[in-house]
């Protein structure tokens, strides 16, 4: 008698993500005792901190997208934004609102610019490099006042943060500078006419409802990320992998100790 035995070879590269997701699913089951409090903590953080601080800014930026303030800023600041950051003047709106509001308002505005064809794909990539910044409420309030108990330190950190993002924007002005976006140039005029629904007293309710709906979708997406990463951190901590990873990485940063 001849016995045939089949060997199944799992290609790690091809099934890497499937293996990771499978481990995550088993981790949710095995460490459910510690995972549930972590999820509740993530939801509490989202409801008590993220929603109150970000949702009003999301609505405000969505409403401003339906006004002519973006085109006015583009005309006014194009002479500065183009030579410094290699983006059109409308990018100043994303930069200013990103600094005032904090994460991730700048990235959302840049995404809306690309969605409404206000900027090309390459310009959107450059915008994302320096418009998605932490706001003064977090740096000055949370870090400076609460952590260091010093307002001056918070202000210095905020100024440093702004200078750092400007430096990154200047460096990334050379990103794909010679690449042209053909779909952007051909569709720009028609897209502007289709997407520029300016708010008036007659359509204020419709625009407000649309802005709130879009903001709710974004804030729920952020909440989903908060919950998922809370679960991942809880699983890594409960399984001991987080401690192992920290022991591996810690020696690389030992020179920072004094």
> In this structure, what are the phi and psi dihedrals at residue 31, rounded to the nearest 5 degrees?
-105, 35
User: Tokens 């028609």 belong to which residue?
Assistant: 190
User: Using alpha carbons only, what angle is made at residue 105 by residues 102 and 110, rounded to the nearest 5 degrees?
Assistant: 130
User: Using alpha carbons only, what angle is made at residue 59 by residues 53 and 65, rounded to the nearest 5 degrees?
Assistant: 130
- Six-digit token pair at 173? 């002005």
Q: Evaluate if residue 13 carries a pLDDT over 80.
A: no
Burial (Cβ within 10 Å: 0-12, 13-18, ≥19) of residue 54:
buried
Residue range 20-69, pLDDT digits in tens: 889 888 988 888 888 899 999 999 988 888 888 788 888 888 888 888 88
Residue range 59-76, pLDDT digits in tens: 888 888 888 888 888 888
Task: Please report the DSSP string for 91-141 in residue order.
Answer: HHHHHHHHHHH-TTHHHHHHHHHHHTTSS-HHHHHHHHHHH----HIIIII
Q: Evaluate if residue 250 carries a pLDDT over 90.
A: no
In this prediction the pTM is 0.71
């Amino acid at each position: 008698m001849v016995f045939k035995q089949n060997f199944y070879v799992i290609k790690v590269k091809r099934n890497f993500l499937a293996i990771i997701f499978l481990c995550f699913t088993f981790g949710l089951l095995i460490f459910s005792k510690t995972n549930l409090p972590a999820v509740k903590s993530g939801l509490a953080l989202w409801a008590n901190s993220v929603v109150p601080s970000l949702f009003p800014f999301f609505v405000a930026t969505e409403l401003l997208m339906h006004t002519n303030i973006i085109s006015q800023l583009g005309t006014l600041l194009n002479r500065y934004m183009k030579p410094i950051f290699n983006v059109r003047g409308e990018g100043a709106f994303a930069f200013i609102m990103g600094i005032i509001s904090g994460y991730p308002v700048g990235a959302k505005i840049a995404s809306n610019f690309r969605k409404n064809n206000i900027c090309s794909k390459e310009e959107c990539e450059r915008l994302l490099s320096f418009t998605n910044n932490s706001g003064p409420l977090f740096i000055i309030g949370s870090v400076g006042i609460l952590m260091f108990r010093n307002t001056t330190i918070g202000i210095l950190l905020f100024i440093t943060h702004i200078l750092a993002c400007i430096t990154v924007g200047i460096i990334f002005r050379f990103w794909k500078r010679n690449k042209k976006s053909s779909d952007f140039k051909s569709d720009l005029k028609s897209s502007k006419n289709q997407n520029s629904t300016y708010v008036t007293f007659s359509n204020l309710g419709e625009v407000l409802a649309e802005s709130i709906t879009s903001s709710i979708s974004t804030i729920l997406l952020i909440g989903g990320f908060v919950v998922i990463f809370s679960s991942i951190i809880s699983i890594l901590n409960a399984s001991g992998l987080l401690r192992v990873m920290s022991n591996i990485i810690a020696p690389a940063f030992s020179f920072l100790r004094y």
